[in-house]
Structure 1
Amino acid sequence: MKEKTEREKMLANELYLASDAELTQLQTATHRLLHFHNVSLPSEVDKRRNIILNLFGKLGSDFVVRPPFYCDYGCHIFAGDRLYINYDCTILDCNTVHLGDDVLFGPKVQIYTAYHPTEPELRLSGKELAAPVSIGDNVWLGGGVIVCPGVSIGSNVTIGAGSVVVKDVPSNVVAVGNPCRVIRML
Structure 2
Amino acid sequence: MPHGDEQEVLDRIRQGLIYTESEAAFQTSSRRTDLIFEYNHTPPGEADRRRSLLVAILGSVGERTVLLPPFHAGFGSNVHIGDDFFGNVNLTFVDDVEIRIGDGVMIAPSVTLTTTGHPVHPARRVDYARFSESIVIEDKVWIGSNAVVLPGVRIGYGSVIGAGSVVSRDIPPMVVAVGTPCRALRTITDDDLTTRTAAIG
TM-score when normalising by structure 1: 0.92
Please point out which of 171, 174, 185 is paired with 1:172. Answer: 174
State the distance in 2 between where 1:35 and 1:126 align.
Answer: 24
Match of 1:22 in 2: 26
- Once residues 113 and 148 of structure 2 are traced to their aligned partners in structure 1, the CA distance between those partners, rounded to angstroms, is 6
Unaligned 5+ residue runs, structure 1? none
Looking at structure 2, the residues matched to 130 and 124 of structure 1 have their Cα atoms a distance apart, in angstroms, of 16
Q: Could you say which structure has the larger radius of gyration?
A: 2
Q: Work out whether residues 97 and 132 of structure 2, in 8 Å CA contact, stay in contact via their aligned partners in 1.
A: yes
Secondary structure of the residue aligned to 2:4 is: coil
Q: Where is the strand percentage greater, Structure 1 or Structure 2?
A: 1
Distance 1:62 1:130, change over 3 A: same
Alignment of 1:1-186 (within 5 A): 2-3=4-5, 4=7, 6-19=9-22, 20-27=24-31, 30-186=32-188
Amino acid at match of 1:22: F
Q: Residue deviations 1:22-54, cap 9 Å, x none? A: 223333xx1100110111111111111111111
Q: Which amino acid aligns with 1:14?
A: L
Question: Equivalents in 2 of 1:75, 1:7: separation in Å?
Answer: 16
Q: Is the 8 A contact 1:133 1:149 kept in 2?
A: yes
Q: Which moved further from structure 2: 110-119 or 16-25? A: 16-25
CA distance 1:171–1:64, shift in 2 (3 Å): same
Q: Give TM-score scaled by structure 2 length.
A: 0.85
TM-aligned CA distance change 1:47 to 1:9, over 3 Å: farther
What's the C-alpha RMSD, in Å, of the aligned pairs? 1.7
Q: Give 1:7 shift.
A: 4.5
Tell me whether 97-106 or 9-18 shows the greater mean CA deviation. Answer: 9-18
